[in-house]
Structure 1
Amino acid sequence: MSDASSMSLPEPAEGWQDGSPDAEPQLLASGEREWRVSGDWTLLALRGRYDEFRQRVAGAVAAGSDPLWDLRGVRRLDTAGALTLWQGWGRKAPARLLWLPEHVTLFAQFLQPVALPKRGPRLGPGLAFAEAQLMAFARHAVDLVALTGRLLLDVVLVLRHPSLIGWREISANVYRTGAQALPITALVGFLVGLTLSYLISRQLKTYGADIFVINILGLAVLRELGPLLAAIIVAGRSGSAMTAQIGVMRVTQELDALSVMGISHTVRLVLPKVLALAISLPLVALWTSALMLLGGIAAASAQLKLDPVQFLHLLPGVVEPVNLWLGWIKSVLFGGLIALLACHFGLRVKPNTESLGQSVTQSVVTAITLVIVVDAIFAVLFSNVGI
């Protein structure tokens, strides 16, 4: 231990005992198997000398067998000083150690086991992105199926106990998603019908088949474009509002309050929105289709000199009623799907504003995409019906 003793630092600087802030870090041998650490072991006191003290501590560890380390004389100790001692000890706590209670917190961060990342087969950037997207889609699909199952169970519950049905909530949602959507759907529907009829009329006029504008416009509007356009507008307008409403309830912890009171989220929030939109969207789709036909009549009258009365008289004869019923069935399905997706993304919102914005965006994009996909499926399955 004589060699180890020679490694001790000079005596403390003058003035350390009287509490001056510039105390030298000290490493002194006390006996053959004891080392005393004193002074300031801080970032400022050790600046430029970390390697020196680390080597001295390591040399003290190597010089004696299981020495005792006494840190009770340390005046100030911060993370830099604790790390210097820890690295000198070989990144493990000595078997014999005396320290102060406030030292425990500093060394505890080094005692935590570091979880090494698991090395698996590495994928390329493209495959890694595709894997992440696929896993996210699978999680959404599982959660959506679970929400649908919970909703079906709650439907059975409210049928047994009609007093649980939120009639006021359903009425309010019908008004917000239906009546308040009439102006924007009327404007868009009229302009789309006007444009579509104008383009069709130009082509039919070339071949002298002016009268067939009624067939094409009536079939396209009542069967496809009316319900699809209404669903897209409602998904962007009302679907986003539903997601934002439920998301804000998550941020303000209102959903947690409902859970504490034993009120089901699906009975109180999801079911009224799904029923309301399934009721209001077919009416909005019929309104949109009527305005599209009105725009088409205006364009056909101006372009082909077609009498509006003749247009309305011939329309029921060239478009079978099954097309109207098919459009209504699709609208009911679109309404329920949009509301279900809006509630799904709303319930997944985390209690922060960033998650709220992301969920609203995902809700609108997903709803519009699925509406178009479902419409395409209906077009293929019923391609020979009513045509």
Structure 2
Amino acid sequence: MDRLIRGYAGSQGHKVSVETMAEAESAEQDSAAATPRIEHQPLESGPGLARLQGDWSLLPLRGNFETLSAQAAGLWREGTAWDLRSLRRLDNAGAMMLWDAWGQRLPAQIDWLPEHQAMFAKLDLPKLPVPRRGRMPAGVTAFGRDLLLMAEHLVGATRLLGQLAIDCWQMLRRPGLISWRDISINIYRTGAQAMGITALVGFLVGVTLSYLTSRQLRLFGADIYVINILGLSVWRELGPLLAAILVAGRSGSAMTAQLGVMRVTQELDALSVMGISHTIRLVLPKIFALGVAMPLVALWTSCMVLAGGMVAARATLGLDYVQFLQGIPAAVPEANLWLGLGKAHVFGLLIAFVACHFGLRIKPNSESLAIGTTSSVVSSITVVIIADAAFAIIFQGLGI
């Protein structure tokens, strides 16, 4: 019995070893057949026939790339005919190697399969003409590119302005569309929360302006006129402009960043899917809120500038606080106060409009968010200064 079992086990082990050897031989034959190679068959008439064998893909070619490339280039220069029908596999790496060896054009005689023809058709692309360098300097080209970008922004801003006009008409017909809560929140964020930074900057600017002015007036014995200079310049020009620049850097950038983050997180797309208008829900509340808050912020900033100027005038010229406060209403007409508040209202509308315009143009990536926020702040301040210059020209023409 034991001899029978040992004989059976031995026969089974021999059978397994035979099968393993057969598999190894088969794998070795497959590996040999997959090796990329070129078989050159001389012909009685002509330079001969080059038949490609094996697997012409990236991994099998990496050890024989230079050898096969040189061999293929030599056969191609002799005018050899080519046969690709026996290839086991051909990928982009093998096709590109043959294409370069053939001088980037097909041989006169070639036999191949349809899939090979499609692969080489992608490589047989017409040579694109090398663009000639423009005669214009690089600065002129960059200036033209900036003009085109400005025109694109103007078109987008005009489109947004038209949409806002349509939405305002709809809100007048349907007052329920007005989001009073969003308007209130934006008034608090752009107005009340901006009082600290505007007060600090305004006070320091007032101290600096009063100190420099008083030094010049003391030379001519006109110390008392520091009240006239500070009052007229602050209420009409400096206060609204300083407040607008601070709000543009603080609140305008926040509006752009908020809309940009909503674009990155696809919240704007979700609002569109739900049928909610971006301008009614997001843009108009910000514009209305900043249009209301900006005159109040400008008034607060002007008061802080005058407070700083009053402290500096007391320290440098010895002017009494009561004298300073009583001299401002006499030196500054009431119309200048309303002109300053009206300019501040327009500045607020412009800042919010520019901030929302850039916020809606942001693409869903972090780089666009950073560039859009920076461009929004710069553009807002630029628009405010241009508007202030336009007001100065208009008031000068009207004699105000």
Q: TM-score, normalised by structure 2?
A: 0.82
Alignment CA distance shift 1:204-1:248 (3 Å): same
Further displaced range: 147-156 or 216-225: 147-156
Q: Distance in 1 between matches of 2:190 and 2:123?
A: 58
**Aligned residue number for residue 20 of structure 2:** none
Corresponding position of 1:281: 294
Greater shift, 267-276 or 81-90, is seen at 81-90
Relative distance call for 1:242 and 1:86 in structure 2 (3 A) is: same
Amino acid of the residue matched to residue 340 of structure 2?
G
Between stretches 186-195 and 127-136, larger displacement belongs to 127-136
Of 69, 91, 100, 2:105 maps to 91
* Partners of 2:34 and 2:88 within 8 A in 1: no
1:246 counterpart SS class: helix
Cα 1:144–1:38 change in 2 (3 A) is same
- SS of residue matched to 2:52: strand
- Offset of 1:44 from its aligned partner? 2.7
For 1:115 and 1:259, the matched residues in 2 are separated by 43
Distance 1:339 1:27, change over 3 A: farther
1:26 to 19, 38, 47: 38
**Any unmatched runs of 5+ in structure 1?**
1-14
For residue 40 of structure 1, report the CA deviation from its aligned partner: 3.8
Change (3 A) 1:26 1:267: same
Q: CA deviation at 1:39?
A: 2.1
Deviation of 1:161 (Å): 1.3
Aligned to 1:321: 334
Q: 1:242–1:346: 8 Å Cα contact kept in structure 2?
A: yes
Equivalent in the alignment of 2:63: 44
Which 10-residue stretch deviates more, 313-322 or 282-291? 313-322
Structure 2 vs 1, CA of residues 100 and 133 (structure 1 numbering), >3 Å: closer, same or farther? same
Q: Is the 8 A contact 1:193 1:294 kept in 2?
A: yes
Give the alignment of 1:149-298 within 5 angstroms.
149-298=162-311
Counting only pairs closer than 5 Å after superposition, residues 337-376 of structure 1 correspond to structure 2 as 337-376=350-389
CA contact (8 A) 2:252 2:352 kept: yes
SS in 2 for 1:263: coil
Change (3 A) 1:273 1:216: same
Opposite residue 26 of structure 1, the aligned amino acid is I
Structure 2 counterpart of 1:202, one-letter code:
R
Q: Number of residues paired by the alignment?
A: 366
Q: Residue 70 of structure 1 corresponds to which residue in structure 2?
A: 84
Give, in angstroms, the shift of residue 93 of structure 1: 9.6
Task: Please list the CA deviations of residues 74-94 of structure 1 after superposition, one character each: whole Å capped at 9, or x if unmatched.
Answer: 245343321133342853599
1:43 and 1:81 in contact (8 A); partners too: no
List alignment gaps of at least 5 residues for structure 2: 1-26
Compute the TM-score of the two structures, normalised by the length of structure 1: 0.85
User: Which of the pair is proportionally richer in helix?
Assistant: 2
| Preserved contact between residue 200 and residue 213 of structure 1 (Cα < 8 Å) | yes
Q: Percent identity?
A: 52
The alpha-carbon deviation at position 56 of structure 1 amounts to: 2.2
Range with bigger deviation, 22-31 or 80-89 = 22-31
**What's the secondary structure of 2:66's corresponding residue?**
coil
Question: What is the rounded CA distance, in whole Å, between the counterparts of 2:208 and 2:306 in structure 1?
Answer: 11
Instruction: For residue 136 of structure 1, report the CA deviation from its aligned partner.
Output: 1.4
Residue of structure 2 equivalent to 1:135: 148
Distance of 1:79 and 1:361 partners within structure 2: 45
Q: Secondary structure at the match of 1:350?
A: coil
Match of 1:17, SS state, is: helix
1:386–1:328 CA distance, 2 compared to 1 (3 A) = farther
SS at match of 2:87: strand
SS in 1 for 2:53: strand
Query: Deviation at 1:29?
Result: 5.4
- Alignment check: 8 A CA contact 2:50 2:75 kept: no
Larger radius of gyration between Structure 1 and Structure 2: 2
The aligned residue for residue 54 of structure 1 is 73
User: Are the aligned partners of 2:294 and 2:345 in contact in 1 as well (CA < 8 Å)?
Assistant: yes
**Is the 1:34–1:70 Cα contact (8 Å) retained in structure 2?**
no
Please give the alpha-carbon distance, in whole angstroms, between the structure 2 residues aligned to 1:57 and 1:277: 76
| Cα distance in structure 1, aligned partners of 2:154 and 2:305 | 35
Q: Match for 1:47: what amino acid?
A: E
CA shift, 1:118, in A, is 5.5
- The residue identity in structure 2 corresponding to 1:37 is L
Q: 1:114 to 1:177 in 2, by over 3 A?
A: farther
Amino acid at match of 1:156: W
The equivalent of 2:29 in structure 1 is 17
Distance 1:95 1:262, change over 3 A: farther
